[in-house]
Structure 1
Amino acid sequence: MTTTVAAADAAHFLSLVPHLLGFRPEQSLVVVPFAGSRSLGAMRVDLPGGGLDQLDSAAATIIGMVCRIPDADAATAVVYTADSAADGLPGARVLAAVGRAADVCGIRVVDLLTVASDGWGSHLDVEHPAGGRPLSRIADAAAQHPTAFETPPVLEHQAAGADLPHRSASERRVIGGALRSLEDALAVVSGMPRVGGGRRRDRAGGRGVDPASLAIACELDDPPRVFEDALALGPEALDPARVALLVWCLSRPGLRDVALVQWATSRDGGDDALDAQLRWEEGEDYPERLGAIMWGDGARPDAERLGAALALVRHVAALAPRRLRPGPLALCAWLSWALGRSTHAASYAQRALEIDPDHGLAEIMASFVQVGHLPDWAFRRRGHVR
């Protein structure tokens, strides 16, 4: 459903920007593209610094993103900074670079704004007061024009919410025990080795394989069913054996990629991805249509499904033993990136690389964020402000 909100003035517009982003930006450059008088979402990058060349390069990158959006013909840019406006609005050099890049690309500049620590204003308003306008004007505008956006609560800043859920040491020990039992069962059933190293539990003394772990291990006959059932149950309903099974799966690249495609598409998509993975292991080419999903070039995934998958994998990562945490963390990075949360994606990828510096998916996600690569569906937004 598309939401349209009429912005009464610049202060009201600034009160809406956090709702477009889902968080309150800090030390950021935010660009809101427009098609005519309607906004097409919002994009944020870290506030660029450096000399003129660096500023022009950063501005060209973000205006280039605007140019990729169908029907976008105008934009407003906003600098968010902790600097003071007492001696003039900060961010003038950054916004001037944005203006130059927009002019080169034929993008009309609607406004160039700064929100500083103690005031705000427009760089196109020659009569703005010294020190900027009071920040209270933005809050007052929000109160006078309640937002019609149906969004989750706005987070305090762009990095908020990236921490994994807190899980106690005792909870993690339970998962560790369930994982050891699962790996023992898999070794008996199919001779599968442990993932991520570590010593196998000694089975001397006549102790056998746990029947419950054996039953869970047998569910690997149908991995897409494992992934779909877990998504339907949700993180809080998963028992330790099922969490252990997900930890094990997401630590194996082939199965992790099946989960990625499935959660971005459907159960049928998971079946296709599993079949493609098995064929690839036998020497066949991996289908481009499935690879396109992983690179962000496929059809737009369902955001609610991606969000549910992210909540699930965050839960799994929080409980996983450190040696097996990079797989779930890297998948958290991909799901965050697919949802347009590049700051979160970078955080998850970095944590995975701190454990395993050679982790493939984590390296890919870190490079995506570093070069500003976004999924193609990020340029096909639904909600807008006018």
Structure 2
Amino acid sequence: MKKIFVLGALAAAATQSAQAVDFKAGDWNLSLGGIVNAYYTQVSCSGDAVGGLALGGKALGCGGENGRTTIGNGLLPNGLVTSASSRQGDYDIKALIGIYSATATDSAIAQNNVVDVRQAYFTFGNAQMGTVKLGRDNGIFGANAIFGDMTLIGAGAPVQATQRGRVTLGHIGAGYSYVGYYGQIAYSSPKSSSGLSVDAALVSPVADTPIIAGPRYSTKSSPQVQAQLSYAADGFKGWLGVKTQKFTTTTPGTGDLTMSGMELGASYSNGPAALLANFQAGKALGILSDADQGDTKSKNYFVQGTYKAADKLKLGLSYGISKNDDNTAGTGGLKSNANLTLGAYYNITSAITLIGEVGQTRSKAFAGGEGKLNGASFGGIIFF
């Protein structure tokens, strides 16, 4: 068996490698692997009712209660991932399907979830031409932030409105916008001796999907566009990304909207220490999905430091904040969401990691109120 990167619902390139079942069938190399995780999460909420997508408020953060307990998924769901690869003629080809599900709901007898096929794509290419991808997969914009987030295999912000029936949020909406999963045609340039690479994608346009209000926009005929320029060398990686899409209004008296965003980030690792910083700014980037706050302009900041204190133990501290620039109608009065998480990650085997995290999520209103979510989570994840 060989080492592979198991793909999660939030990780087209997950940070945890695992043993998969590999076998040969004619010209094809087939692999089957997956993820299972569960976390005991305890949260308490205090402060003011902020409004909008206030992740630290009582309504979303604690599911409408002063405190809550859930044993469910962290930022990653459970997943079963199968892939097939082959060398045919001058091309390396691959196909992948990832099927995902959630652990916790409010019922012990009802159907726990609808199976979620986040990934279903194929690729072809070679060292000279690069790689073309067709199908459904995560977006390019925001990928380095979320896949580099230490809480990817933990919980991060343990928002109860999303953990039951889905997952926690990590730093989504409190440090970076969600990477999103789209139908797409994408291209990745071949590896260069200079360390530079380019990724670009034509993405199926999406409608806005606000959580606390009705939709206001539909899609136009032109696709969403995402692109990124990256540089990597000697433990350093830097990236510059953009994305844009036109939305058509469905609300009388409201004009059409063009989403636009830019991203700048870098990571560096040296021995046991690693750092990551990411910045996003734009219009209609949303909190949990594209344009879920309408035409609001916003900025996202995320910083993280980790240190491998022992052979099997990693410690980390991460902070993120998402700020709305203006009190537009789409914000619901929300000025910012911020999350601070302290985590410990212990590998008891090459496949199983036990994780403990404590943190605080704060949501502030333009009117001056503040809601606070204190949370702690303990559990584990297996990659197989």
Q: State the TM-score, normalizing by the size of structure 1.
A: 0.22
Structure having the larger proportion of residues in strand: 2
Higher helix share: 1
Query: Rg larger in 1 or in 2?
Result: 1
Give the structure-2-normalised TM-score.
0.22
